[in-house]
A and B are shown apart, each in its own frame.
Chain A
């Protein structure tokens, strides 16, 4: 395959940037979480690309599995918190949660 490593890295970079955009601009809490998922996925792609093209060791794949697992855990907690916020503020607009302002 002539695309090789660079292709995967570019794809992962684009996904990362899109995820970053999501995190920075979304007003919806869940939207922000989705952006984080995107970033994690891009990282996974990177890991696996280097695992494949970096000499064939499986360390990258192990790492990717860990990332998936942690992402799942984090999504659970994050969504639980979001639900909590919804209970309190009756909205999940992050602009509304300003009670801790100085």
Chain B
């Protein structure tokens, strides 16, 4: 076994990711799940760094952890009487779900193993921001603009939905 330090590091981060994800899936307390989710996000960001995607990693931390997670926590707080245990994380129909998950997992692992992935040359890891910026404004201009439209729509939609709720309550 010629595991180098990076490999070990990778294994550690991968393990952390998996454990956090399991925590999200199997935790009974929704708040515990939320925090595990944070852990997963962080670990994912670390994995991104491993994949020489520095900008994406930073964005991941910013958006996911700093945005989505906070949002989820807010939602949890707003909809959940902390003292109320009854409405919680109870899972239903575990066995069929496990069955499906098992099948899917098996299929995916099979695909990975039997993949025959064509691998190209590994470029040296370097800063990617400039390149991504370039691409956004040249090749991917249209999706970029459309994305902003989508965000606008989401913004308006969210405002609309929550305004109605606020009025009712």
Number of A-B pairs whose CB atoms are under 8 Å? 242
Interface size range on A against B: 35 or more
Asked if residues B104 and A20 are in contact (CB atoms below 8 Å), the reply is yes
Q: Report chain B residues within 8 Å CB of A13.
A: 105, 108-109, 112
User: Is B122 touching A25 in the complex (CB atoms < 8 A)?
Assistant: no
* Complex CA distance for A61 and B140, rounded to whole angstroms: 12
Residue of B24, B119, B155 near A54 (CB, 8 A) is B119
Is the pair B87, A91 in contact by a Cβ cutoff of 8 Å? yes
**Contacting pair B88 A14 (CB below 8 A):** no
Whose C-beta in chain B lies nearest to the C-beta of A75? B68
Q: Which residue of B lies closest to A54 (CB)?
A: B120
Q: Is the CB of B79 within 8 A of A25?
A: no
Query: What is the CA–CA distance of A41 and B79 in the complex, to the nearest angstrom?
Result: 25
- CA of A30 to CA of B140 in the docked complex: distance in angstroms? 33
B161 nearest CB neighbor, chain A only: A80
Q: Give the Cβ gap from B46 to chain A, nearest Cβ, in Å.
A: 11
Instruction: Give the residues in chain A near B4, CB-CB below 8 Å.
Output: 1-2
Inside 8 A of A61's CB, which chain B residues have their CB? 53, 55-56, 128, 132
A64 with B56: CB separation less than 8 A? yes
Verify B72–A75 contact, CB threshold 8 A. yes
Whole-angstrom CA separation of A59 from B139 in the bound complex:
10
- Is there contact, CB below 8 Å, between A17 and B101? yes
6 contacts between A and B (CB under 8 A): A1-B7, A10-B109, A13-B105, A14-B21, A21-B98, A62-B132
Q: Could you tell me which residues of chain B, from 60 to 107, have a CB within 8 Å of some CB in chain A?
A: 60, 63-64, 67-68, 71-72, 74-76, 78-80, 87-94, 96-98, 100-101, 104-105
Q: How far is the CB of B24 from chain A (nearest CB, A)?
A: 6
Cβ-closest chain A residue relative to B75: A79
